[in-house]
């Protein structure tokens, strides 16, 4: 306690010192989240190889997309022989939620040079955002917070690439009877269920889920895009209903 008090009183530390502290803090605060990323990355690697994606492409997807849930979707769709345009559109829809992160961080990053903005956008995944926004909105050491966000993003990045590589390496040795593909649904349940604490979000989820089931026989997973639109529509509609008096 005494240490942090004296820190707050002290004038901002000079550049280099502060940067190192922010980088270290960022990595340290991200470490607990990496526990969840390792199995996710490994399973992605395993499933990619099983879907017939060459190891180099599977690893490149982790480096270029750097977006776990959409990578799972792509693997599933490519494995089912889906046309490329539909796969790209589906991945886009799945990753559209990152626009929320971008919008929420934008005011904090407005003074940074363009190169920094470009770099931070690349590492803006769910976990890095969750860690980074906490430091911006709920304090922590001031000054050079973009180094903190960068460190969180890079920690996730290194972890994602390594666990993916491990999964690709193990891929062929894991039997299909392990039902590892079910971890995709489980991971998404863990992501979405705790966020359903208001009525419009819960209704949006229900509408989308039911539409997806009803439309599952549409070719090329068009049902997914239809379901996403239905969910968004119901969410907006029920939000309006909710505000009506009486």
Partner 1 sequence: MAQTWLIIVLAGLLTYAVRLSFIALHGRWQPPALFQRALRYVPPAVLSAIILPEMLLLDGQMLFSPLNPRLLAGIIAILVAWRSRSTLLTILTGMLALYALQALLG
Which long-range CB contacts under 8 A does 92-101 form with residues at least 24 apart?
93/224, 93/225, 93/228, 94/67, 94/69, 94/70, 95/67, 95/69, 95/70, 98/67, 98/124, 98/125, 101/126, 101/129, 101/133
Single out the segment in contact with partner 1 by CB under 8 A; choices: 16-24, 104-112, 136-144, 160-168: 104-112
Question: Is 174 a residue that touches partner 1 (CB under 8 A)?
Answer: no
Question: Is 36 a residue that touches partner 1 (CB under 8 A)?
Answer: yes
Give the one residue of 182, 199, 241, 242 binding partner 1; rule: CB under 8 A. 182
Question: Is 158 a residue that touches partner 1 (CB under 8 A)?
Answer: no
Question: Is 109 a residue that touches partner 1 (CB under 8 A)?
Answer: yes
Question: Is 199 a residue that touches partner 1 (CB under 8 A)?
Answer: no
Question: In 3-state terms, what secondary structure has residue 244?
Answer: coil
C-alpha span between 217 and 232 (Å, rounded)? 21
Question: Is 130 a residue that touches partner 1 (CB under 8 A)?
Answer: no
Name which of residues 202 to 231 contact partner 1 (CB under 8 A).
202, 204-213, 216, 223-224, 227-231
Cβ closest to partner 1, residue 14 vs residue 244: 244
Exposure class string for 83-101: b at 16+ Cβ within 10 A, else e: eeebbebbbebbbeebeeb
Cβ closest to partner 1, residue 138 vs residue 243: 243
CB atoms under 10 Å from CB of 144, counted, come to 19
**C-beta of 4: minimal distance to partner 1 in Å?**
28
Question: Is 170 a residue that touches partner 1 (CB under 8 A)?
Answer: no
């Amino acid at each position: 306690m005494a240490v942090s008090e004296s820190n707050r009183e002290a004038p901002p530390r000079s550049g280099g010192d502060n940067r190192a502290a922010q980088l270290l803090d960022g990595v340290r605060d991200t470490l607990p989240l990496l526990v969840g990323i390792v199995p996710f990355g490994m399973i992605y690697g395993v499933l990619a190889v099983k879907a017939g994606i060459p190891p180099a492409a599977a690893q490149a997807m982790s480096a270029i997309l750097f977006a776990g849930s959409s990578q799972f979707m792509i693997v599933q769709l490519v494995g089912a022989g889906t046309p490329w345009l539909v796969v790209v559109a589906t991945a886009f829809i799945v990753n559209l939620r990152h626009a929320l992160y971008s919008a929420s961080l934008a005011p904090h990053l407005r003074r940074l040079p363009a190169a920094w903005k470009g770099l931070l956008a690349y590492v803006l995944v769910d976990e890095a955002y969750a860690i980074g926004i906490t430091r911006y909105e709920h304090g922590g050491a001031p000054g050079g917070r973009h180094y903190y966000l960068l460190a969180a993003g890079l920690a996730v990045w290194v972890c994602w690439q390594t666990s993916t590589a491990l999964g690709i390496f193990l891929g062929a040795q894991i039997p299909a009877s392990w039902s590892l593909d079910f971890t995709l649904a489980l991971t998404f349940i863990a992501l979405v269920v705790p966020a359903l604490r208001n009525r419009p979000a819960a209704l949006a989820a229900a509408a989308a889920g039911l539409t997806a089931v009803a439309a599952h026989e549409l070719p090329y997973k068009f049902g997914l895009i239809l379901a996403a639109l239905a969910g968004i529509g119901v969410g907006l509609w029920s939000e309006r209903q909710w505000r009506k008096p009486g």
